[in-house]
Chain A
Amino acid sequence: RKEVEQDPGPFNVPEGATVAFNCTYSNSASQSFFWYRQDCRKEPKLLMSVYSSGNEDGRFTAQLNRASQYISLLIRDSKLSDSATYLCVVKTGGFKTIFGAGTRLFVKA
């Protein structure tokens, strides 16, 4: 079983739609959680950190459920520019950082 699992998609949604991605992790000792965004043939970039209380950044909302060991990302009012691969990232103690394989999103006009 992978340490961090994501639905690979692709998710195909129209502009203006709301879309949600989930990610599960296996290590209950995981400490920090993040969503990264990766455009086609580009490097990953931090989208947002994920806090236990949930957090929002504009149209993006991230949630963490420690009991069930999953993280979610909600994108509201999808834009064409949101088309990318979204990587779930989990950090355990020390330097160990595990990246999920990513969920591909296509937003269409």
Chain B
Amino acid sequence: NAGVTQTPKFQVLKTGQSMTLQCAQDMNHEYMSWYRQDPGMGLRLIHYSVGAGITDQGEVPNGYNVSRSTTEDFPLRLLSAAPSQTSVYFCASSSRLATGEQFFGPGTRLTVL
């Protein structure tokens, strides 16, 4: 039981490049989310999904896209990377019966030059 996995662990991009951050969970959780964490700020919700085929925007969705074709996977796409997107990205999942307990992946440290 791997829990929530994320790839890659580290990534450096140039401004304007695009990429996809991968997230997968093996707990059969309905809910999945993407957060970014910046120094001095709490985790901020980017996008979330309450089930396969259903996604919605969080607090800071601009510049990011998501899709949820399966229960297990929830990739985050950066369309055209900007230095302001330099951050640590965490994917999380939770059961619909206990949405307060979120299980986080190990994070992706992204630097945009």
Contacts and interface: CB of A to CB of B under 8 A. Distances in A.
Interface size class of B (residues with CB under 8 A): 20 to 34
A46 B99 contact: no
Nearest to A4: B42
Contact of B42 (A45, A87, A96): A87
Given A42-B106, A43-B106, A101 B41 contact: yes
A102 B42 contact: yes
Contacts of B41: 101
A97 to B, nearest CB: 7
A98 B41 CA distance: 11
A45 B104 contact: yes
Contact of A34 (B35, B42, B100, B107): B100
A22 to B, nearest CB: 15
A91 interface: yes
A89 to B, nearest CB: 8
Contacts of A100: 42
8 contacts: A43-B107, A44-B90, A45-B104, A46-B101, A95-B99, A97-B100, A97-B102, A99-B44
Sorted nearest first, the 9 A-B pairs with minimum C-beta distance are A99-B42, A43-B104, A99-B43, A101-B42, A32-B100, A46-B101, A100-B42, A44-B104, A34-B100
